[in-house]
Amino acid sequence: MAASPPEHPGSPSRRRQRDPERKARILSAAAELAARRGFHTIAMSDIGAEAGIVGSGVYRHFASKTAILVALLDQVMSRLQDGAAAVAGRATDDRSALSALVRDHIQVAIEDRSVLAVYHREAHNLPEDDRRRLRRAQRLYLEEWVHVLAPLRPELTDAELRVAVHAAVGAIQSTLFFRAGLAPRRLAELLDGLAHGCLGVASATSEPVITTPA
């Protein structure tokens, strides 16, 4: 069998090999635009332009704008679930686990602010099946918080535990809706204290962990 001729450096397949992160760039661009302008106001061509890709190139990865939205929200929910799973695997006690859940959520809220803001604002625009699937994943994620909070606040009923957890998550996510102008480490410290206050549990350690440079 004759050998295939070498690909020309400018051939489409070579260009694709040189840009393996194109799909991630599309999602990042969509998140930034949606966080600034609202997902319903942007077009596929806007997303392509923000990502530095021609409009037709976006369709090679996503069939529609709705498909991009589903992928974005799946991405942030998977990130939170992975963080909770990592906490469960390494925490040695409930207080440490709870503080680690708080800090992981703060890290997502600061480092992946645009994607989490899109999740909060646009989840109701998902197709029904995807919306139900993500809502169920969200409930299971919050149950991880309830599970570790319950032994620390035995005086609370199940309903009261859930109120405390929702209040803590709401305090963390308050940073999605305005730019405080604070350095990430200082913002993390404030959110950490507010979230633990909502939970009624002292922090397990004094220093929140944020990888974003101050």
Query: DSSP assignment of 44-72, as one string?
Result: HHHHHHHHT--HHHHTTT-SSHHHHHHHH
Query: What whole-number distance in Å separates Cα of residue 50 and Cα of residue 60?
Result: 16
Sketch the domain layout of the chain as residue ranges.
17-63, 66-214
Tens-digit pLDDT profile for residues 134-162:
999 999 999 999 999 999 999 999 999 99
pTM: 0.80
Question: Could you give the CA distance from residue 199 to residue 201 in angstroms, rounded to a whole number?
Answer: 5
Token pair recorded at residue 90: 């390494």
CATH of 17-63, picked from 3.30.70.100, 3.90.79.10, 1.10.10.60, 3.30.1180.20, is 1.10.10.60
| Phi-psi category of residue 126: left, alpha or beta, with phi > 0 → left and psi -120 to 50 → alpha | beta
Q: What share of the chain is helix, strand, coil (3-state, %, to 5)?
A: 70, 0, 30
The predicted-structure confidence for 43-73, as pLDDT tens digits, reads as follows 899 999 998 887 678 888 899 989 999 998 9
What pLDDT score does 192 carry?
Answer: 96
Does 1.10.357.10 match the CATH number of domain 66-214? yes
Q: With cut-offs at 50, 70 and 90, classify the pLDDT of residue 9.
A: very low
Residue 46 contacts residue 58 (beta carbons within 8 Å): no
What confidence score (pLDDT) does residue 2 get? Answer: 44
Round to whole Å and give the CA distance between 103 and 51: 30
8 Å CB contact between 109 and 116: yes
Q: Which pLDDT band holds residue 204 (cuts at 50, 70, 90)?
A: confident
Site of tokens 């909770």? 84
